[in-house]
Structure 1
Amino acid sequence: MRGLTIRQPWAAAITYADKRVENRTWPTSYQGPVLIHASRTMDRRHGPMVAAVVRGLQLDVGAVLAVARIIACHEDDGECTPWSLPGHFHHVLDEVTALPLPIPWVGAQGLWAPPAALMERVRQQLSPETASHVLREGQ
C-alpha cells in the first residue's frame, strides 16, 4: 500500500470527478492500492481549469480523501485522457473510492508508505467488500 499526495483541486478531481491520470515528472513501477491524499497547498496555476468540475465541493487539504489503484504508468504518448499533460509520466488510476469522511493526515513527496494507524482509520470507513477488493496487494 502507498499514499500519493496531490495538490487541490486535482485531488478532488480524482476523488469526485473523472480524473484517472495523475501527471508526474517521475515514473513508477508500482501497481496496487494507493491512498489519495490532498496536500496542504493548492495549485493556483491550473485550478481554474477544473473549477466547473469541482464547483460546490469541499476542497479538503491535508487529508486522505480516497483509495484507488495504480494500474499502469507510461510516458506521455499524446493525450491519453483530457487530464493528461504532455511531457509527463501518466500514473493511471482505477477503482477510485471516496472516503465518507476525509482523514486529516500529513502526506509526503513521492509514493509514501502509510502507517498502520492510518490504514486502520481508512478501513473503518470502507465496507469489508470494498476494503478487500480495492486494498488488495499485488494485482
Structure 2
Amino acid sequence: MKAFTLRHPWAFAIAHLGKTVENRDWDERLADLMGVPQLTGELIAIHGGTAPQRPKSGKHWSQLAATNLWRQHCEDLQAVHQVLDGELPDPAAQFLAQRGVTTLTPEAFILPGIVAVATLSGTTRSSRDPWAAQGQLHLLLSDVIALPEPVQVAGAQGFWTVPEVIEAEVVRRYRAAIDTRPPQHGHLTAQEWLA
C-alpha cells in the first residue's frame, strides 16, 4: 500500500471534513515520476505528518515569521474554516467530541500517523471543489474511510510504501471502520428501505 504525508490540518480534513481533493504543485512529469498514473484506482493511506509545536513565546501566530510551521498550520486552519463556512460535519463533530473538543482549535486537527484510507480516483487541474487550489494538480479521492485511531508510523515526501506490519494494522482498522459505519441507504430500493 502506498501512502502520502500531509501537513496538518489537511489529513484531518480528508479523514473527517469531507475533503476529497488533495492539491499538489506538481507538473504532469513530476506526477508521472511519483507514480500517480499507476496508483489511480488504488487504495492509498492518508498520513498526518509531524505535529508543529505551539511557540512558547506567547505571541499571536500572525506575529510569527512566515516560515514558522505553527503560523503555517494556523493559516491552513483559517482556510479550513473558510471552506466549512462555520458548518462542522457530523462525523467531525462526533470525532472531536470523543476527544473532549468542541471547537476547531489548532490542536484539534493534529493527528499524526495514518488517519484514513481512500481510493485515488484520478487527477485534474480544473476541479471546482471548494477544497481545490486553482492552478495546482488535484488528486481526486473517493471512498474515504477514517480510521478509528491513527496508526503511528514515520512518513516521507511524495508517495511512499507503508511497511508490511503497519499495512496489516491499517487494513485491520480500515475493515473495522467499514464494519461499524452506518448503512448507506442511498442505494436501496424503496422495498429494501421499508423492509
Equivalent position of 2:160 in the other structure: 112
| Segment of structure 1 superposing worse, 64-73 or 42-51 | 42-51
Look up the match of 1:81. Answer: 129
Cα separation, 1, equivalents of 2:175 and 2:134? 37
**What secondary structure, in the 3-state scheme, does the structure 2 residue paired with 1:4 have?**
strand
2:177 and 2:110 map into 1 onto residues whose CA distance is 26
Aligned to 2:45: 35
- Contact 1:5/1:110, CA 8 A, preserved across alignment: yes
Kept in 1, the 8 Å contact 2:11–2:47? The answer is yes
Q: Distance in 1 between matches of 2:150 and 2:176?
A: 18
**Counterpart in the other structure of 1:60:** 110
The normalised TM-score by structure 1 is 0.81
The letter for the 2-side match of 1:117 is V
Measure how far apart 1:46 and its partner are: 2.3
Indicate yes or no: 2:48 matched with 1:48: no
Q: Which runs of 5+ in 2 are unaligned?
A: 53-72, 93-102, 180-195
Q: Structure 2 length as normaliser, TM-score?
A: 0.59
Does structure 1 retain, via aligned residues, the 8 Å contact 2:50–2:112?
A: yes
**Aligned AA for 2:112?**
G
In structure 2, the residue matched to 1:137 is none
Q: Aligned partners of 2:21, 2:50: CA distance in 1, in Å?
A: 21
Higher strand content, 1 or 2: 1
- The 3 A distance-change label for structure 1 pair 129 and 37 is closer
Distance in 1 (CA, whole Å) between partners of 2:19 and 2:145 is 13
In the alignment, the residues of structure 1 paired with residue 49 and residue 75 of structure 2 have an alpha-carbon distance, to the nearest angstrom, of 15
Shift of 1:90: 0.2
SS at the partner of 1:94?
A: strand
Report the equivalent of 2:147: 99
Please, what is the CA RMSD of the aligned residues?
Answer: 2.3
**Normalized per residue, which structure has more helix?**
2
Distance 1:129 1:98 in 2: 7
Q: 1:117 to 1:24 in 2, by over 3 A?
A: same
